[in-house]
Amino acid sequence: MNKKINVTIWNEFYHERTRESVKKIYPDGIHGALRDKLSEFGEYNLTVLTQDMEEHGLTDEVLANTDVLIWWGHAKHHEVADSVVEKVKARVLDGMGFIALHSAHASKIFKSLMGTSCRVKWRENDEKERLWVIEPSHPIVKNVPEYIEIEEEETYGERFEIPTPDELIFVSWFKGGEVFRSGCTFKRGLGKIFYFRPGHEEYPIYYRDDIIRVIKNAIDWACPDGITKPTLGHVEPLEVVKDKFEGKSMEERTHANLGK
Amino acid sequence: MNKKINVTIWNEFYHERTRESVKKIYPDGIHGALRDKLSEFGEYNLTVLTQDMEEHGLTDEVLANTDVLIWWGHAKHHEVADSVVEKVKARVLDGMGFIALHSAHASKIFKSLMGTSCRVKWRENDEKERLWVIEPSHPIVKNVPEYIEIEEEETYGERFEIPTPDELIFVSWFKGGEVFRSGCTFKRGLGKIFYFRPGHEEYPIYYRDDIIRVIKNAIDWACPDGITKPTLGHVEPLEVVKDKFEGKSMEERTHANLGK
Amino acid sequence: MNKKINVTIWNEFYHERTRESVKKIYPDGIHGALRDKLSEFGEYNLTVLTQDMEEHGLTDEVLANTDVLIWWGHAKHHEVADSVVEKVKARVLDGMGFIALHSAHASKIFKSLMGTSCRVKWRENDEKERLWVIEPSHPIVKNVPEYIEIEEEETYGERFEIPTPDELIFVSWFKGGEVFRSGCTFKRGLGKIFYFRPGHEEYPIYYRDDIIRVIKNAIDWACPDGITKPTLGHVEPLEVVKDKFEGKSMEERTHANLGK
Amino acid sequence: MNKKINVTIWNEFYHERTRESVKKIYPDGIHGALRDKLSEFGEYNLTVLTQDMEEHGLTDEVLANTDVLIWWGHAKHHEVADSVVEKVKARVLDGMGFIALHSAHASKIFKSLMGTSCRVKWRENDEKERLWVIEPSHPIVKNVPEYIEIEEEETYGERFEIPTPDELIFVSWFKGGEVFRSGCTFKRGLGKIFYFRPGHEEYPIYYRDDIIRVIKNAIDWACPDGITKPTLGHVEPLEVVKDKFEGKSMEERTHANLGK
C-alpha cells in the first residue's frame, strides 16, 4: 500500500470543554492530541470529527472515505443518533477498520458490533496500570516493549463482558487487585476491530509515544487492503448436480430423508 | 443437575400453515415435531411458543423460567417486535442458552447477538448435504457419527458472515460445490449459543434421530449451571493502594505519566 | 454417565520427601492430598502414581483404564522416560483427559502436547495471587466465585509461552506486578487438556475447597464421553465422481490445472 | 520493512527424481518452481534447499538468516534427522515464519509444532478441489478471489487431527464428498505458521498464480517484524510487595492459605 491511509478520529469532546482539569491536559481535545501525535508518522490523512457536528460529522462521504475510524466517547454515548450508529456499523461490516479507545467500550457502536453489554468493573483511583503483551509477534505490538506502565489511570476490572476476542494482545494489571483484557481484536463482517483500554481523560495518556505506537500499529493492521467481497444471497450451483431423487415426488423424498 | 431442564421451543409457524407441502411434513408445526422428538428423552420440561402469540409468547415469566430457548424462523423475522428481541437478548446475556436453527441465522435476535449481518449464499435445489464433525470430543457431538448425511436440503454457502465462532463443530459439504460452517458455538455474556444449520421446512429433517441427537446435546451443553454472576460497575480496590503520587498535584502526575 | 470416572493422579513426589517444609505440608505427598480431597465427592475411582514407580506407574493397562490423568512435577521433569511420555501423549490424542498442575507447565508431556517451550517468568516471594474468572459460564468454574484469592504463592508471569488457548478461564493477578493466564483449555487429538496454575509445593494449596472444586470440575469436563473416532488414512469417495478429465492424458490435465 | 525478506524453500526432492510423471511437471523440482514463481515479485532473497544436502541444508547459519521457511515433504519425512527438526523448531519459537505445504502436514517438524498426529483422510483420485475463503479480510487472502478452483488434486478429508487453528482461512470442498480445513494459521512461541493444503506432486499446482499469491501473502504475514522478546525465567518483583504475612511463620501462613 503506497497511498496514505485515511484515518478519521472521532471524539465526544465533552469533558475537555466542561472540566478544568481535562481542559488543561487536552486543550485541543483528545482528538487534537491524537491527530498531532499520529501526524508525526507522515503516513496518514487525518480527519477529526466531534459529536456536536451535524450527523456527528459522520456523513456518508466521510465514512466512504475512511479506512480506519478511531472512537473516543464516555459521558454522551446515549446522545449518539441510532441512525449514525447503523451507518458506522454498515461501514465496519463493509471493511472499514475500527479502533475503540478506553470508555468507547460502552459506546452504542461498539456494543452493537460485539452483541453484548461490554460492561466492566471500574473506579477512578489514580492506580498504576501495567499492560502486559500476550502475543509478542502480533503486528499491533511491533516495536512495543514487553509491558507498558502507566503511573496513574482509571481502573477497569474483569469480567469484561465481551465475546471471546479473536486475539488477546494485552492484559492489564492494576495496583488495586484487578486484571483486564486491555487489548483485544475482533473481526466483524469484513472489518477489523481493536479495543485498546488506556486513555482516561484525567491523565495525559495520548501524548505518550508507547501508547501512540500501539494505536499507529492498530491503524496499519486494521486498514482494509485487497479484500475480495464475497458473493451473498441466491447463487446457482457450481457443479452439475444430479441427485438420485431428481424427478421423485415429495413423498419419495420424504421417505429418504427420514432414513436415519 | 438432577432437575429437568426447561426448554422453550419457539417457532415462526408460518410455512406450515400456508404451504401445502410443508403442512404435510409438519402437520403440528416444526415446534410440534421438535417437542415430540425431544420429549422421548424424558429429561426436559418442554414449552412450545409461536410467533402469533401475544408478545410472541415470550413473556417475562416464560423467559425467566427458560433454561434453553430454541428458535426457528424464516419469512417473518421482520415482524418480531424489537422489544421482545431486547428481552430475549437480555436473558441470553444473563445465562439462558440459545439454539438458532437453520434460517434463524437471519433472525433479529441472532444478528443482534452476533453483531453482524449473518448473511449467506443459498439456493433451494434439493442437494445433498453432508455435515462433517470437526471437533469429535465436543459434548455437542456426543454419540454422533463422524458425518451426518442428508439426501436433500436447502444449500447454504460461505462466506457465512458471522464473527469467528468460539468453536467450529460441523462443516457442511454440498453437492453443488459449497461448504458451510454448519455447527458453531458462541458465548455472549453468560449465555451459550449454538447455531445448527439443517432444517429447511420442505424436508422432514427434524424427525431424524441424528439431528435430534445434536439438538439434545446442544441443550445439555447450553443449559446454565452453577454460574457465578460477576460484579459489574463501580468497585472499591481489593488491595491497599499507596501510589507514589498520592498527594501530588496534577502537574506532577502529568509529568510522570508523560514519562515514556 | 452413571459409572464412576477413573482418575489417575501422578506426582513427582520429590520435594515432599526431601524438604522438611514441604513434608510438613504434604505428609502423604501432593498426590495423597489430591486423592483425599477428591475422594470426598464419591464420584471417582482414584489411583495414585509416583515417578519412582516402574515405568513411573504409567503401564499400558493403567493408561488404558484412565479417563483423566492429573500431573504434578517440578524438579525431575528431565528424568521422566521419553517412552512413557510418548505413551501418555498417544492416550491423550486417543481421548484421555489431561490436567497439568502448576509446574507441570514445564513437563515433557505438556510441552510435547503444546508444541512450545511453555516457559514463564517466575519467583518465589510469598506473593498474593488472585485468580479472576474470565469465562463465568464455563463448566470448569461451576460454583466457583468470581475470583480465588491465595495469600501466598509462587509467582508466574507472562509471557507464558503456550499456543493460544482454546479457552481462557482464569487470569491471575500477582502482587508483585505480573499477570498470568492461569487457567487454560486446549484440545489435542480427541483429548481435552486443562492447565491450572496454583499449587507450589511450599503452600497448602491443594487442601483448599475452591481449588479442589476447580480440579473436580476440570475432571468432569475433560472426561471422554461418547466420542466417535474419525476414520483416518486412505478412504474411498463417498460420491460418484465423474470428473471432466476422466480418461484425459497428463498433458491435457496439466493444461487445465494451469488455468488460473 | 524496506529490506528484502529472506525466504528459504526446503524440498524433499524425491518424487521429482524418481517418478517420470512428476519429473515432467517439475523438471527443476517443486523448490525450483516455487523459487521461480516467487522471484517474479522481486521482494525476496530466495534460497532453495533439498533433503539430500548435508544437514538437509539447514545449517545454523541458514536458519539464523531465514525469515520465513517453506517446507514440502512427503515420502521421506522419517529420514529427516531429529536434531535438525529440533533446530528448526527452536528457530520457529524464536520468531521465524513457517509455511507447511500439502503433505508437510505429516512432517516431523509440523507435528512437533502442533503437538498432534496431524493425520487426515486421503485418496488420489483426480478430484476437483475448491478452496473457499472463510476470512476475506485476512492478509493471507489479499487480492485472492472468493474461491480457488483446482480441477484435479489429491483429496484430503476431515477430521484433520490438528489443534484448533488460531485462524481458519480456507475450507476446501472435494468432489468426492469431503471437506478440509485447507488454510490454517497457528502461532508457536514467537513464530507464525501457515498450513496450506494444495500441491500434490502429480499436478502442476505451484505454477498457478492464485496459489502463488496465497504463498506470497503468507510469507509477508509470517515474516517476523519488530518483535520484542519477552524476558523469561527468574525475575524480581516490579512492585514493592508488603504482604500481610511478612515475618509470619509457616504455620500462620498455612492457616491463612487454608482459609477458603
pLDDT tens, residue by residue, C237-247: 999 776 556 66
Is 60 exceeded by the pLDDT of residue B30? yes
Q: Could you give the angle at the alpha carbon of A98 between the alpha carbons of A92 and A101, nearest 5°?
A: 145
| Fold annotation for A5-222 | Rossmann fold (3.40.50)
Q: Do A179 and C178 make contact, defined as CB atoms within 8 angstroms?
A: no
CB-based contact D179:B132 (threshold 8 Å) = yes
CB burial string B223-242: b at 16+ within 10 A, e below: bbeebbebeeeebebbeebe
CA distance B178 to chain D (A): 7
Residue in B with minimal Cα distance to C175: B239
Q: Do B175 and A207 make contact, defined as CB atoms within 8 angstroms?
A: no
Predicted pLDDT of residue B260: 38
pLDDT tens, residue by residue, D43-73: 999 999 999 999 999 999 999 999 999 999 9
Cα gap A139→C151, rounded to integer Å: 37
Q: Cell digits for D114?
A: 502442533
> Helix, strand, or coil here: D260?
coil
Parallel, antiparallel or unpaired: strands C121-133 and C147-157: antiparallel
Query: Which residue in the set B123, B209, B236 is minimally distant from A234, CB to CB?
Result: B123
Is 50 exceeded by the pLDDT of residue C79? yes
- What totals of helices (H) and strands (E) does chain C contain, helices first? 8, 10
CB-based contact B85:A112 (threshold 8 Å) = no
Amino acid symbol at D123: R
Q: Do B137 and C227 make contact, defined as CB atoms within 8 angstroms?
A: yes
Cα gap A69→A48, rounded to integer Å: 10
Query: Which residue in the set B139, B175, B224 is minimally distant from C137, CB to CB?
Result: B224
pLDDT tens, residue by residue, A204-240: 999 999 999 999 999 999 999 999 999 999 999 999 7
CB-based contact D151:D166 (threshold 8 Å) = no
Torsion angle of the four alpha carbons D181, D183, D186, D190, in this order, in degrees rounded to the nearest 10: 170
pLDDT band at A243 (very low <50, low <70, confident <90, very high): low
pLDDT tens, residue by residue, A166-200: 999 999 999 999 999 999 999 999 999 999 999 99
Amino acid symbol at A220: D
Burial, D109: exposed, middle or buried (Cβ in 10 Å; 0-12, 13-18, 19+)?
buried
> Average per-residue pLDDT in chain D?
94
Please compute, for residue B216, the number of CA atoms within 13 A of its CA located in the half-sphere on the CB side.
22
Average of pLDDT values for D148-152? Answer: 97
Q: Do D144 and A190 make contact, defined as CB atoms within 8 angstroms?
A: no
DSSP string, C150-216: EEEEEEEESPP--PPPSEEEEEEEETTS-EEEEEEEEEETTEEEEEE----TTS-GGG-HHHHHHHH
Residue in D with minimal Cα distance to A224: D137
According to DSSP, the residues that pair with B76 across neighbouring strands are none
Q: Which of D148, D84, D140, D74 is nearest to D105 (CA)?
A: D74
Predicted pLDDT of residue D24: 97
Parallel, antiparallel or unpaired: strands A68-72 and A5-11: parallel
Parallel, antiparallel or unpaired: strands B5-11 and B68-72: parallel
Q: Is A70 on the interface with C (CB under 8 A)?
A: no
ipTM exceeding cut-off 0.90 for this assembly: yes
Cα gap A1→A5, rounded to integer Å: 9
pLDDT tens, residue by residue, A131-172: 999 999 999 999 999 999 999 999 999 999 999 999 999 999
CA distance B171 to chain D (A): 7
Amino acid symbol at C178: E
Cβ-based contacts of C167 with chain D (< 8 Å): none
Q: Do A166 and B166 make contact, defined as CB atoms within 8 angstroms?
A: no
Cα gap B183→B177, rounded to integer Å: 19
pLDDT band at D1 (very low <50, low <70, confident <90, very high): very low
Instruction: Give the largest CA-CA distance in chain C.
Output: 79
CB burial string D24-37: b at 16+ within 10 A, e below: ebbeebbbbbbbeb
A37 phi, psi to nearest 5 deg: -70, -45
Cell 527424481 belongs to D17
Q: Number of A to C CB contacts under 8 A, please give it.
A: 52
Query: Which residue in the set C171, C174, C178 is minimally distant from A158, CB to CB?
Result: C171
Q: Kindly state the percentage of chain B with pLDDT values over 70.
A: 93
Contacts of residue A12, Cβ cutoff 8 Å, sequence gap at least 6: A50, A51, A72, A73, A74, A75, A76, A77
Q: Which of B23, B204, B7, B160 is nearest to B98 (CA)?
A: B7
Parallel, antiparallel or unpaired: strands B191-196 and B179-188: antiparallel
Predicted pLDDT of residue C3: 85
- Which H or E element spans position A87? helix A82-93
Predicted pLDDT of residue D3: 85
* Predicted model pTM: 0.95
Q: Do D203 and C159 make contact, defined as CB atoms within 8 angstroms?
A: no
Query: Which residue in the set D135, D145, D230 is minimally distant from A136, CB to CB?
Result: D230
Q: Cell digits for A134?
A: 500476550
Predicted pLDDT of residue C247: 67
Predicted pLDDT of residue B99: 98
* Portion 123-162 of C in contact with D at CB < 8 A: 123, 125-128, 148-152, 155, 157-159, 161
When mean pLDDT is compared across B162-166, B179-183, C119-123, C255-259, the lowest value belongs to C255-259
Q: Cell digits for C199?
A: 499449587
Residue in A with minimal Cα distance to C134: A159
Is 70 exceeded by the pLDDT of residue D255? no
Q: Is A188 on the interface with D (CB under 8 A)?
A: no
What are the domain boundaries of chain D? 5-222
Query: Which residue in the set D159, D167, D173 is minimally distant from B179, CB to CB?
Result: D173
Predicted pLDDT of residue A252: 72
Cβ-based contacts of A158 with chain C (< 8 Å): 132-134, 171
- Which H or E element spans position A231? none
Please compute, for residue C247, the number of CA atoms within 13 A of its CA located in the half-sphere on the CB side.
2
Query: Which residue in the set C127, C148, C241 is minimally distant from D127, CB to CB?
Result: C241
Q: Kindly state the percentage of chain D with pLDDT values over 70.
A: 92
Contacts of residue A257, Cβ cutoff 8 Å, sequence gap at least 6: B150, B151, B152, B203, B204, B205, B208
C162 phi, psi to nearest 5 deg: -115, 160
Predicted pLDDT of residue A1: 46
Is 90 exceeded by the pLDDT of residue D246? no
Mutate to test the interface with A, among C116, C156, C166, C171 (most CBs of A within 10 A): C171
pLDDT tens, residue by residue, A40-97: 999 999 999 999 999 999 999 999 999 999 999 999 999 999 999 999 999 999 999 9
DSSP string, B126-187: EEEEEEEES-TTSGGGTT--SEEEEEEEEEEESPP--PPPSEEEEEEEETTS-EEEEEEEEE
Q: Is C53 on the interface with A (CB under 8 A)?
A: no
Average of pLDDT values for D117-136? Answer: 96
Average of pLDDT values for B13-39? Answer: 97
Q: Do B151 and A244 make contact, defined as CB atoms within 8 angstroms?
A: yes
Q: Is B189 on the interface with D (CB under 8 A)?
A: no
Cα gap D203→D121, rounded to integer Å: 19
Q: Cell digits for B182?
A: 454448519
Predicted pLDDT of residue C257: 65
Contacts of residue B125, Cβ cutoff 8 Å, sequence gap at least 6: A237, A241, B154, B155, B176
Cα gap D242→B129, rounded to integer Å: 63
State the helix-helix crossing angle for A29-39 and A209-222, rounded to 10 degrees. Answer: 80
Please compute, for residue C43, the number of CA atoms within 13 A of its CA located in the half-sphere on the CB side.
13
Is 70 exceeded by the pLDDT of residue B242? no
